[in-house]
Amino acid sequence: MTKTKVEAVKAARVWCLAALLAFAGLAHADLVGPVVAIQDGDTIDVLVNRQPVRVRLAQIDAPEKRQAFGTRSRQALAELVFRQSVRVAETGRDRYGRVIGKGLTRLAWSQT
């Protein structure tokens, strides 16, 4: 292989690695913002860039609104995070297009 071909292959590998790392960083990110709505005991809306983002909290199995204790489950989550600034680690999306969030953390500062 000639020297220019070897350099071209190396440059292509570097470019592919850089592109892979860039897209990997975009795939999952932290969402930061105030909680503007509680859908049920495991689903919230977080305001990010003036747009509500529906987040299904991972590893929580809460009753739906119309199931037994569904209203109480929603109220309990609201007491914890409604109108609070939070950080949620995005781990993907579910079949309904909601963000799957892991590691919900209330932040000490407020976005008022």
- Name 40's bridge partners: 43
CB 81 within 8 A of CB 104: yes
Encoded amino acid at 22, one letter: A
Q: Give me the helices (H) in 28-103, please.
A: 70-81
CA pair distance 88, 28, nearest whole angstrom: 11
CB 22 within 8 A of CB 11: no
Residue numbers annotated as active site? 56, 64, 98
> What is the sign, positive or negative, of the torsion defined by CA atoms of 90, 91, 92, 97?
negative
